[in-house]
């Protein structure tokens, strides 16, 4: 699973245009010499490279025509000076180099680096070059490139994917949109990405986490200058380590009435487990009281699984009234279906006006305008549900997840949790927020039900639904990561995540006490 060091990644996330403007500002502040900054970038990549791979074997550096290619030539020069076997492949002909990139090529050549022109190599020679590489450095395409990589870059990217050699990406993987995280065509799948100066939003969502591998950030000593560059961030970044300090302290005089009464309305016939998972997750996330309203036949299994919850079998929507009146927060949608029972439940929940978390079929029913929205909710769509809510193809959602989450909030109000690798949280009070991290073990049925229960519990404990959403997404991921660190990804179950929640929360409380 790709990792990012939460202590080294900044909070502000920028678009590609903003990062280029910051680059220009920093260069101007340094007297107009971008080559100095390029040297610092290359040195940081080389330092990270040898720290990760102390004996990388033969290094192949793939260089484009822009400043990203210039970084690559200087990485190769550093490797040569340190006695490592290295050669550069000019994917863009060197006669196209200009400015600092040309100076970098000249320096690499003076330092004895062999630079081969891709166009001068036969197919067999190219095969041999990639087959013999012990490690590949991707310095082909930078932040200025959008859309699918053109040839010969596409061919080189495809060759990288089948070599089996680890790949280090300079600033960002070639083929990845630095702003959105979309990949319109071939994209490098790096093992390590070292990015500079401003953290690009696209590295943390969409295809970004998969393409980047482990993500490292290097400010290159420009932190103060970035703050004064006049570029507003596109979004914010958070994770469990950065958010857990905001967990409210529980006084010794606490009682269950202080931590919210969560009503989970879930589980039509054939989907009883969805409601049980959501309700137990709410209980394990600190809710003071949890009630599950579900089909009568699911009541006994629910109590057998978690006897601390209250369970009420309901057949008609009218039976929800007393339960809704007693609840502080409602979770609606897991397993309710889109038939008459689910429609009745959703209509009663929305009519209550209570704070609520809407998931799964509640969102599908909302997309068909079964219920009217008033904005007092957290909506938790995956990309398919988001596409139905906006009436567009799923590809449109994945092309720009930040924009999609913002559009959902504009249309439906409230707080939006657009699920996926690099989940996006959009709320009225804050910039969109990317909760950094991903866990492929969570790609299994029931994980969304667990998240909805966690969100319901946190919504009942925090006055800020945006904060509740960010913290809920983050602790959900942290609990899954903790389980996966012991058991692996395959076979990770929603119940495993529920069982891990108390430990994750306890560790957060202990860290706060220690600090």
pLDDT digit string, tens, across residues 196-230: 999 999 999 999 999 999 999 999 887 656 665 78
d(CA 346, CA 330): 11
d(CA 71, CA 74): 5
d(CA 97, CA 74): 14
CB count within 10 Å of CB 491 equals 10
d(CA 375, CA 225): 39
Q: Burial level of 92, CB count in 10 A (0-12/13-18/19+)?
A: buried
d(CA 119, CA 106): 20
Q: By three-state DSSP, how is residue 77 classified?
A: helix
pLDDT at 369: 73
Q: Which letter does DSSP use for residue 257 in this model?
A: G
Which of 327, 266, 364 lies closest to 460, judged by CA?
327
Phi, psi of 285 (to 5 degrees): -105, 15
DSSP strand E in 399-512: where? 415-418, 423-426, 433-435
d(CA 279, CA 281): 5
pLDDT at 5: 55
Show the tokens assigned to 483: 């389980």
Q: Is the dihedral of CA 274, 306, 418, 5 positive or negative?
A: negative
d(CA 386, CA 412): 11
CA distances from 309 to 280, 295, 300, 367, 465 (A): 8, 15, 11, 31, 24
Edge-first strand listing for the sheet containing 59-63 = 114-117, 86-90, 59-63, 135-139, 167-170, 192-196, 214-218
pLDDT at 428: 86
Q: Which residues of 20-42 are buried (b: 16+ CB within 10 A; e: fewer)?
A: bbbbebbbeeeeeebbebbbbbb
d(CA 494, CA 492): 7
Q: Is the dihedral of CA 425, 429, 474, 288 positive or negative?
A: negative
pLDDT at 514: 79
pLDDT at 493: 98
CA distances from 76 to 58, 69, 175, 179, 389 (A): 11, 11, 22, 28, 49
Which of 471, 440, 433, 457 lies closest to 241, judged by CA?
471
Which of 369, 375, 297, 372 lies closest to 338, judged by CA?
369
Q: By the 8 A CB rule, do 158 and 136 touch?
A: no
Tens of each residue's pLDDT in the chain, 515 residues = 555 554 479 999 999 999 999 998 888 887 768 899 999 999 999 999 999 999 999 999 999 999 999 999 999 999 999 999 999 999 999 999 999 999 999 999 999 999 999 999 999 999 999 999 999 999 999 998 889 999 999 999 999 999 999 999 999 999 999 999 999 999 999 999 999 999 999 999 999 999 999 999 999 887 656 665 789 999 999 999 999 989 888 889 999 999 999 999 999 999 999 999 999 999 999 999 999 999 999 999 999 999 999 999 999 999 999 999 999 999 999 999 999 999 999 999 999 999 999 999 999 999 887 555 566 899 999 999 999 999 999 999 999 999 999 999 999 999 999 999 999 999 987 899 999 999 999 999 999 999 999 999 999 999 899 999 999 999 999 999 999 999 999 999 999 999 999 999 999 988 877 77
Q: Burial level of 482, CB count in 10 A (0-12/13-18/19+)?
A: middle
pLDDT at 6: 47
pLDDT digit string, tens, across residues 368-413: 875 555 668 999 999 999 999 999 999 999 999 999 999 999 999 9
* Element at 304 (helix H, strand E): helix 299-305
pLDDT digit string, tens, across residues 10-60: 999 999 999 999 998 888 887 768 899 999 999 999 999 999 999 999 999
């Amino acid at each position: 699973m790709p990792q990012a060091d939460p202590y080294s990644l900044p909070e502000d996330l920028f678009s590609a245009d903003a990062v280029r403007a910051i680059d220009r500002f920093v260069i101007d502040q340094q007297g107009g010499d971008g080559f100095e900054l390029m040297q610092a970038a290359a040195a940081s990549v080389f330092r990270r490279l040898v720290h990760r791979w102390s004996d990388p074997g033969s290094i192949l550096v793939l260089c484009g025509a822009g400043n990203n290619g210039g970084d690559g030539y200087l990485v190769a020069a550093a490797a040569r000076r340190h006695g490592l076997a290295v050669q550069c492949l000019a994917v863009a002909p060197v006669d196209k180099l200009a400015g600092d990139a040309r100076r970098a090529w000249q320096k690499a050549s003076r330092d004895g680096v062999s630079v081969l022109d891709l166009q001068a190599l036969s197919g067999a020679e190219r095969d041999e070059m990639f087959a013999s590489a012990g490690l590949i450095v991707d310095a082909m395409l930078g932040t200025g490139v959008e859309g699918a990589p053109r040839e010969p870059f596409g061919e080189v990217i495809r060759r990288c994917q089948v070599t089996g050699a680890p790949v280090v990406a300079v600033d960002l993987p070639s083929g990845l949109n630095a702003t959105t995280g979309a990949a319109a065509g071939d994209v490098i799948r790096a093992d390590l990405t070292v990015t500079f100066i401003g953290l690009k939003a696209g590295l943390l969502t969409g295809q970004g986490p998969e393409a980047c591998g482990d993500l490292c950030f290097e400010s290159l000593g420009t932190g103060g200058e970035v703050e004064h560059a006049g570029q507003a961030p596109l979004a914010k970044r958070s994770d469990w380590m950065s958010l857990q300090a905001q967990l409210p302290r529980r006084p010794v005089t606490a009682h269950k009435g202080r931590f919210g009464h969560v009503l989970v309305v879930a589980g039509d016939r054939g989907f009883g487990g969805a409601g049980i998972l959501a309700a137990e997750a709410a209980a394990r996330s600190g809710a003071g009281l949890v009630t599950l309203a579900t089909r009568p036949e699911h009541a006994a299994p629910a109590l057998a699984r978690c006897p601390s919850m209250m369970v009420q079998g309901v057949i008609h929507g009218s039976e929800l009234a007393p339960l809704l009146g007693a609840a502080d927060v409602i979770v609606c949608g897991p397993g309710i279906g889109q038939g008459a029972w689910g429609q009745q439940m959703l209509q009663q929940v929305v009519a209550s006006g209570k704070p609520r978390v809407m998931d799964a079929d509640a969102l599908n029913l909302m997309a068909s305008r079964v219920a009217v929205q008033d904005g007092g909710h957290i909506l938790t769509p995956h990309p398919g549900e988001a596409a139905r809510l906006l009436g567009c193809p799923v590809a449109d959602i994945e092309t720009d997840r930040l924009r999609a989450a913002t559009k959902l909030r504009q249309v439906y109000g409230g707080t939006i949790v657009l699920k996926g690798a690099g989940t996006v949280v959009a709320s009225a009070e804050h910039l969109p927020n990317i909760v950094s991290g991903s866990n492929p073990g969570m790609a299994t049925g029931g994980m969304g039900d667990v998240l909805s229960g966690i969100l319901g519990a946190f919504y009942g404990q925090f006055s800020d639904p945006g904060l509740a959403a960010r913290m809920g997404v983050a602790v959900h991921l942290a609990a899954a990561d903790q389980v996966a660190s012991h058991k692996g990804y395959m076979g990770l179950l929603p119940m495993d995540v529920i069982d891990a929640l108390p430990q994750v929360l306890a560790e957060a409380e202990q860290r706060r006490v220690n600090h």
